[in-house]
Amino acid sequence: MTNVFNPPARTLMGPGPSDVNPRILSALARPTIGHLDPQFVAMMDEVKSMLQYAFQTKNALTLPVSAPGSAGMEACFVNLLEPGDKAIVCQNGVFGGRMKENVERCGATAILVQDDWGKPVDPAKLAQALADNPDAKVVAFVHAETSTGVRSDAATLCKLAAENNCLSIVDAVTSVGGIEVAIDAWGADAVYSGTQKCLSCVPGISPVSFSERAIAAIKNRTTKVQSWFLDMELVMGYWGQNTQRAYHHTAPVNTLYALHESLLILEQEGLEAAWARHDLNHKALAAGLEAMGLSFVVDEEYRLPQLNVVTIPDGIDEAAIRQSLLQDYNLEIGAGLGPLAGKVWRIGLMGYACNQTNVLFCLASLEQVLREQGADIVAGSGQSAARAYYQSQQ
């Protein structure tokens, strides 16, 4: 016989999922009701309008796809691309590579604009690719690269796409709730995100938003969307304004309770206050990490406050460090991916987990396990620097 699973109480400071606010866990466990229940439908409307706030958009087609962020990504590509189309994909980390896979599986051609891992997307390279490919239909890029901790300039990249008559697809999985996402101001056409990062909700659903221009492109398709499940015209019928909703699939009822609560928490805190909190705790953590001799992969100007990617000191067994933190401190930090595997740690400060207690706990724990491995760190130096930063901001 199997036993009941009782997970340990971790502090989640990796690349996501992040610590879930207890208010959200409590909402998650409320009694399940029918997905066509009038009270559930009313709640869906509130989720849509709070998502519009989080995304800073008036887009009517703003809703959570009933599957994780990678399905949200796929929803954007399969709806906007048809076989034979061309898409320019900006790649500066893991998720750009996944975008290329998506483009090709739509029967479309991907033109890659490559930048080094840890660097933002270079607008000049995109401009050149647009000039070289006047027949491109889509430009896709990652706003906040979870594999490297870099922020790209979404406003400039979306503007370049629009000026060249392209639709823009933006990955905002890690950005929403942590740094500004401004769909309407950017003029972005299709944006997908995740719930398990700065929204501090459980993983499993992916809020997306499509502009009027994107909807027109979907309506003008000459072929059916290759995915029935992700076909936005069908999903619209289910999440739409009409009172008589067309049954499409069974919504993940309880996960949507959780998203509702997480968006309510964001609304109550306010977007600007949430961004300021991420900035404050990031700067304190950065001061501490740098005082301990760790250096950031990303230049200061482009760093994501919610994902701090630092180089592992020479001679350190990085996997052993992560294992000690997990086993002895119940603290999760993230490993590197792709070319950064074994070379960096990814320390998240996302949503509910982004607070002073976690910053100081992380610095204290990391210092101890590094010192046990022989690293030359002055005891308390990380915490002192962080505390000094906090005090300077009071």
Out of 41, 56, 60, 101, the only residue in the binding site for a copy of itself (CB under 8 A) is: 101
For the bound state, the minimum distance from the C-beta of residue 25 to a copy of itself, rounded and expressed in Å, comes to 4
Question: Which residues, numbered 246-285, are part of the site for a copy of itself (CB under 8 A)?
Answer: 247-255, 257, 260-261, 263-264, 267-268
Identity of the residue, 40 or 361, whose beta carbon is nearer to a copy of itself in the bound complex:
40
| Token pair listed for 163 | 């000026």
Size (the chain), residues: 394
For the bound state, the minimum distance from the C-beta of residue 226 to a copy of itself, rounded and expressed in Å, comes to 5
Q: State phi, psi for 175 to the nearest 5 degrees.
A: -85, -40
Looking at 14-22, 210-218, 277-285, 360-368, which segment touches a copy of itself (CB under 8 A)? 14-22
Kindly report the number of other CB atoms within 10 A of residue 277's CB atom. Answer: 18
Looking at 65-73, 153-161, 211-219, 292-300, which segment touches a copy of itself (CB under 8 A)? 65-73
Coil, helix or strand for 136?
coil
Question: Quick check: 71 binds a copy of itself (CB under 8 A)?
Answer: yes
Name residue 364's amino acid: A
Which residues, 6+ apart, have CB-to-CB distance to 139 below 8 Å?
87, 88, 90, 126, 130, 157, 158, 160, 161, 164, 166, 167, 168, 169
Looking at 128-136, 178-186, 197-205, 307-315, which segment touches a copy of itself (CB under 8 A)? 197-205
Identity of the residue, 4 or 131, whose beta carbon is nearer to a copy of itself in the bound complex:
4
Question: Quick check: 8 binds a copy of itself (CB under 8 A)?
Answer: yes
Looking at 101-109, 125-133, 212-220, 371-379, which segment touches a copy of itself (CB under 8 A)? 101-109
How many residues sit close enough to a copy of itself to count as binding (CB under 8 A)? 79
Long-range contacts of 34-43 (CB under 8 A, 24+ apart): 34/253, 35/250, 35/251, 35/253, 36/245, 36/247, 40/251, 40/253, 41/245, 43/256, 43/257, 43/260
Question: Which residues, numbered 206-235, are part of the site for a copy of itself (CB under 8 A)?
Answer: 224-229
DSSP state of 18: P
For the bound state, the minimum distance from the C-beta of residue 259 to a copy of itself, rounded and expressed in Å, comes to 10
Identity of the residue, 252 or 339, whose beta carbon is nearer to a copy of itself in the bound complex:
252
Out of 108, 169, 198, 202, the only residue in the binding site for a copy of itself (CB under 8 A) is: 202
Question: Quick check: 66 binds a copy of itself (CB under 8 A)?
Answer: yes
Strand segments, DSSP code E, in the chain are 11-13, 61-65, 86-91, 109-114, 138-142, 144-145, 150-151, 167-171, 190-192, 206-210, 307-311, 331-335, 344-348
